[in-house]
Every structure is written in C-alpha cells, then in structure tokens.
C-alpha cells in the first residue's frame, strides 16, 4: 500500500527495480535521475560495491504532479540480484507498490533472468502479494547486445498467466527508460484508484 500523509496531502509509492545482477538496474535509475529537472527529484543514493554489483540498493525520490488533490511522490529503489543477498532483497521489496523487472537480453542470461524472476515472485508472495494482480513491468534491457533474447521468451518460460506490460530498452543510452517508468507508474496509480 502507498503511504498516505493526510496532513501534507502527499501519497508516496514505492517502485522497485528488480532483476539479476548486472542487468542494468542502476543504469536505469541513473538515467531517470539525470533526465529529471532538479525540482522533481531528490538526491540519488548509490550503495554499490567495487565490482559494480549492487550490494544494498540505490534510491531516490521523484515528485510528479498530483491526483485528486494529493501530491504524488515515487521512491525508486534497486534491489540486489544475487542469491546471497536474499535478506536485503526481501527487505527492499517490502511494501513495494510496483516492480520493474529488468531482464538482461544477453542470450546466455536467460536462466539467470528466470531464476531472479522466480525469487522476486516468491518474495512478493511472502508479502501476500499475488503476481497476477501486482503492478509489474517487464523490461528487456540491453537490446543492443548480440546474440540477444527474443522479446516474449521470459513470459513463455514463466507462464505467469496474465498479460504483463513489456518494454525494450538500452539503459546506457536511456532508450526506453522513461517509457518503462511511465508504464509502471500508470500501473501503480491504477491499482491505487480502484
């Protein structure tokens, strides 16, 4: 559930970028941060290790207009992809209102993508969230690599049993990054309004 501050008439949504290590989650957040005018964004906090792997998380707030007299704020987080960071992944996913799953389109990374997706699905389930209802966007990142996964292959393997909005991106150039954020924001707000 989003956090409602009735005094300040502010509603805060938590959006988490999940996916295997190195799929481009931090690169997505960095691009969004750079693309936003200063008045719409807070400071970006990056907690990466030397090996470029996300040990804890990256975070920053985005302020986006208002809805029904409430100001909207999004907190964007990345999540560590590696299995051995299970505890931090679980904590960061707690209270998430929406997830962007950043898949790595590199062909040989299909299995890691699937494994990471299933772990995220289980973490949501542990939070009593059902993947069939949950605001989710599947981003096929690294569309510039060769050979690359075909769009649709994740869904086929996962058999999620619902339509998931899908985007294609090259996070290093920013292509598809804002579109992904727009889509997930819409999903999150739609669920909030019903």
Interface contacts to Mg ion, rule CB under 5 A: 25-26, 54
26 or 185: whose CB is closer to Mg ion?
26
- Work out how close the CB of 26 gets to Mg ion at its nearest, in angstroms, rounded to a whole number: 3
- Work out how close the CB of 13 gets to ligand GDP at its nearest, in angstroms, rounded to a whole number: 21
| Whether 2 contacts 96, CB under 8 Å | no
Q: Where are the alpha helices (DSSP H) in 99-176?
A: 110-126, 153-158
| Whether 11 contacts 3, CB under 8 Å | yes
96 or 170: whose CB is closer to ligand GDP?
170
Determine the interface stretch with ligand GDP among 19-27, 90-98, 122-130, 152-160 (rule: CB under 6 A).
19-27
Q: Does 24 bind ligand GDP (CB under 6 A)?
A: yes
Q: What is the 3-state secondary structure (H, E, C) of 64-112?
A: EEEECCEEEEEEEEECCCCHHHHHHHHHHHCCCCEEEEEEECEHHHHHH
Question: Cα(10)–Cα(17) distance, rounded to whole angstroms?
Answer: 23
Among 14, 25, 41, 109, the residue binding ligand GDP under the rule CB under 6 A is 25
Interacting residue ranges for ligand GDP, rule: CB under 6 A: 19, 21-27, 52-54, 78, 81, 141-142, 144-145, 170-172
């Amino acid at each position: 559930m989003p956090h409602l501050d009735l005094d300040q008439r502010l509603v805060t949504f938590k959006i988490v970028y999940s996916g295997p290590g190195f799929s481009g989650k931090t690169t997505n957040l960095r691009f969004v941060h750079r693309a936003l005018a200063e008045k719409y964004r807070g400071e970006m906090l990056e907690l990466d290790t030397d090996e470029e792997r996300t040990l804890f998380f990256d975070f920053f707030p985005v302020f986006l207009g208002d809805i029904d007299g409430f100001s909207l704020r999004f907190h964007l987080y990345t999540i560590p992809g590696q299995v051995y960071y299970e505890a931090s992944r679980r904590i960061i996913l707690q209270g998430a209102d929406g997830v962007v799953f950043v898949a790595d389109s590199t062909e040989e990374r299909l299995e890691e993508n699937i494994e990471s997706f299933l772990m995220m699905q289980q973490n949501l389930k542990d939070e009593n969230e059902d993947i069939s209802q949950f605001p989710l966007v599947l981003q096929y990142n690294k569309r510039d690599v060769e050979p690359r996964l075909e769009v649709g292959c994740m869904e086929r393997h996962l058999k999620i049993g619902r339509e998931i909005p899908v985007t294609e991106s090259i996070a290093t150039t920013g292509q598809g990054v804002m579109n992904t954020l727009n889509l997930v924001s819409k999903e999150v707000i739609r669920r909030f309004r019903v």
